[in-house]
Amino acid sequence: MKNDESGMTRRDFVKGAAGVTAVAAVAGVGGVIVWDRTTQPEDPVDVWNATVGTDRILLAATMAPSSHNTQPWRFRVGSQQIEIIADTDRTMGKADPRLRELHLSLGCALENAVIAAAAAGTPVAVEQVPGSTGSPDTHVATLRFSAEADGADANADLAPAIPKRRTNRGPFDEERPVAADTLATLGALASDAVRVVWLTDADARARFTDLSVKATEAHIADTEVQRDSHRWYRMSRSDAEKYRDGITVSGANLPWAISLLMGLLPPTPDSFDAGWAKATNDTHCGTAPAFGMLVVENAGDTSAWVEAGRTYERIQLAAAMDGMSTHPISQALTIRDREVAAGSPGAFAGGLTELGGAGEVVLAFRIGYPTREQPPSMRRAPVVARA
Ligand SMILES: Cc1cc2nc3c(=O)[nH]c(=O)nc-3n(C[C@H](O)[C@H](O)[C@H](O)COP(=O)(O)O)c2cc1C
């Protein structure tokens, strides 16, 4: 029987899963995890090392990236399984009109949970619930403890990166490209349903940058998208501490002195967005040596979106293990989805297809070597119910 570094065995795990009361206690009392440069940061690695059994698998899921740090997940835990449920009170509304990002975020959480279980010697069989619609209480996937699951293809070696990876919004090293064979290795982590396209030449990067800058302007001009996006802005330290989610000032990874000033005098969402538009061009796209795109065959295939989330998480973790960072840049996809949902696909749909090829681009991100450390983002405690 395999042990992880905390000495946990499969038997301990199942015992832990049965002890849902303990999980609920952690979730309800001691489980509030706070980390942010504006608060007293608790190192996620310390939290990770102090957590074992089912709690660690749930912690891994909640440590996943999610759009606007919405953390749109809940969990139902039984003795033989963990179910991942979409929390549709925590969507981005008009800023994610097809619930694409919701499903991608859930895929990231699912992948972290699978990797954490495999690393603990308790591999799971994953049952994705097909055709999840994102309707309230949608059950998206089940991790089932199974004697047949050997975990051999579960990428357990990526587990150490779970508490370390960040979405890094600072400048990347412009002098240090990501080697072609490194990108090929990362691309090979894709699920069957997902194709990875790398944009490395100057022309393709310029076209993606142009699309992203125009989409950021369209985003800022769209009052409904802005309203639902701003719902997740936590510009003051007190809001960040109260909600433990969302977009914070420290998440922008600005130079230290500017972050400090903004901590003292919080920006309005609109002034924060003015900085975001400039950073999209100058920093996010401007310093990126490469962009990645995840493409799926059929538009609107929610199961493929979950697989794309799993793929992104594997790529992000593997990149982090090698000193790289990734950072989704979603504006062109958001505005494309807005147009698709309104029944009139326009220039963003066309521009993304030109870059991504046949199928639909469901996530775009930059990848490179960061020049500034990204502080960890806030997390809520896992919301757990007994199955
Ligand atoms: C589907 C998806 C889309 C995202 N889109 C963006 C984006 O457009 N811009 C951005 O800065 N971060 C984006 N993110 C990153 C989240 O904002 C980030 O994961 C969250 O704030 C938590 O921070 P962390 O990843 O450092 O833990 C996205 C993440 C996911 C999963």
Ranges of each domain in the chain:
10-165+376-386, 180-368
Percent of the residues in the chain that have a pLDDT greater than 70, as a whole number: 87
Tell me which of 26-30, 185-189, 297-301, 350-354 is least confident.
Answer: 26-30
Give the residue, by CA position, lying nearest to ligand 1 atom 17: 68
Dihedral angle, C-alpha 362, 217, 371, 104, nearest 10 °: -20
Interstrand relation of 139-145 and 124-128 (parallel, antiparallel or unpaired): antiparallel
Looking at the structure, give the CATH architecture of the domain made up of residues 180-368. 3-Layer(aba) Sandwich (3.40)
Query: Quick one: pLDDT at residue 377?
Result: 92
Tell me which of 196-200, 315-319, 340-344 is least confident.
Answer: 340-344
With contact defined as beta carbons under 8 Å apart, do 112 and 379 qualify?
no
pLDDT of 372 higher than 50: yes
180-368 shares the fold of 10-165+376-386:
yes
Compute the distance from residue 332 Cα to the ligand 1 centre, in Å. Answer: 14
Query: Quick one: pLDDT at residue 3?
Result: 34
Give the residue, by CA position, lying nearest to ligand 1 atom 9: 329
pLDDT of 329 higher than 80: yes
pLDDT tens per residue, range 189-227: 999 999 999 999 999 999 999 999 999 999 999 999 999
With contact defined as beta carbons under 8 Å apart, do 290 and 329 qualify?
no
Rounded to two decimals, what is the model's pTM? 0.90
Query: Quick one: pLDDT at residue 146?
Result: 81
Q: Any residues with CB less than 8 A from the CB of 75 and at least 6 apart, and which?
A: 58, 61, 82, 83, 84, 85, 382, 383, 384, 385
Calculate the CA 219 to chain-centre distance: 20
Looking at the structure, give the CATH architecture of the domain made up of residues 10-165+376-386. 3-Layer(aba) Sandwich (3.40)
Compute the distance from residue 161 Cα to the ligand 1 centre, in Å. Answer: 17
- From the alpha carbon of 101, which atom of ligand 1 is closest? 1
Compute the distance from residue 6 Cα to the ligand 1 centre, in Å. Answer: 30
* Residue 44 φ/ψ, nearest 5 degrees: -55, -30
For residue 107, what are its two tokens?
């895929």
- From the alpha carbon of 169, which atom of ligand 1 is closest? 11
For residue 356, what are its two tokens?
């991504």
Ligand 1 binding pocket, CB closer than 6 Å: 65-69, 101, 104-105, 108, 166-167, 169, 251, 327-330, 363, 377
Tell me which of 84-88, 135-139, 198-202, 277-281 is least confident.
Answer: 135-139
Give the residue, by CA position, lying nearest to ligand 1 atom 4: 67
d(CA 311, CA 27): 28
pLDDT tens per residue, range 260-280: 888 888 899 999 999 999 999
- What is the residue-averaged pLDDT of the chain? 87
Interstrand relation of 73-77 and 325-328 (parallel, antiparallel or unpaired): unpaired
For residues 51-67, give the mean pLDDT: 96
